[in-house]
Amino acid sequence: MTESASARALPPLPGLIAGGFVILGVLLWMFVAKGLLFVAGLGAFGPGILRELGWLRDQDEFQRRAAHRAGYHAYLIGGFVTVLIVSWLQWRETTLEGSSEWIMLILITLWISWLFSALLAYWGARTAASRILMAFGSFWLVFVIADILGESDSTADYLHGLLMGCLVVAPFFLLAWTAARWPRRTGAALLAVSALFFVLFTQGGADSVASKLLTAVILLVPLIASGVALLRDQGSGGATSDAWGEQEAAPEGAG
Q: Of 7, 208, 25, which Cα lies nearest the Cα of 105?
A: 208
Q: How far apart are CA 198 and CA 195, in angstroms?
A: 5
Spatial contact of 214 and 108, defined as CB atoms under 8 Å apart? yes
In-domain check, residue 194: no
Query: Residue 172's pLDDT is what?
Result: 82
Spatial contact of 70 and 62, defined as CB atoms under 8 Å apart? no
Q: How far apart are CA 211 and CA 82, in angstroms?
A: 15
In-domain check, residue 24: yes
Cα of first residue to Cα of last residue in the chain, in angstroms, is: 24
Query: Residue 94's pLDDT is what?
Result: 63
In-domain check, residue 142: no
Q: How far apart are CA 250 and CA 199, in angstroms?
A: 36
Domain extent for 40: 11-53
In-domain check, residue 38: yes
Query: Residue 2's pLDDT is what?
Result: 44
In-domain check, residue 40: yes
Query: Residue 251's pLDDT is what?
Result: 41
pTM comes to: 0.66
Q: Output the tens digit of pLDDT for each of the chain's 255 residues.
A: 344 444 455 667 888 899 899 889 888 887 898 888 889 889 989 998 998 888 988 888 888 888 888 889 888 988 888 888 778 777 776 665 546 777 788 888 888 888 888 888 888 889 989 988 888 788 778 777 777 776 666 677 677 777 777 777 887 888 899 998 899 999 999 899 888 878 877 676 556 677 777 777 877 888 888 898 899 886 644 444 444 444 434 344 444
DSSP 225-254: HHHHHHHT--SSSS--SSTTS--SSPPTT-
Spatial contact of 50 and 59, defined as CB atoms under 8 Å apart? no
Query: Residue 204's pLDDT is what?
Result: 63
Q: Of 230, 115, 238, 248, which Cα lies nearest the Cα of 184?
A: 230
Q: Of 5, 223, 35, which Cα lies nearest the Cα of 132?
A: 223
Query: Residue 13's pLDDT is what?
Result: 83
In-domain check, residue 199: no
In-domain check, residue 39: yes
In-domain check, residue 32: yes
Please state the domain count of the chain. 1
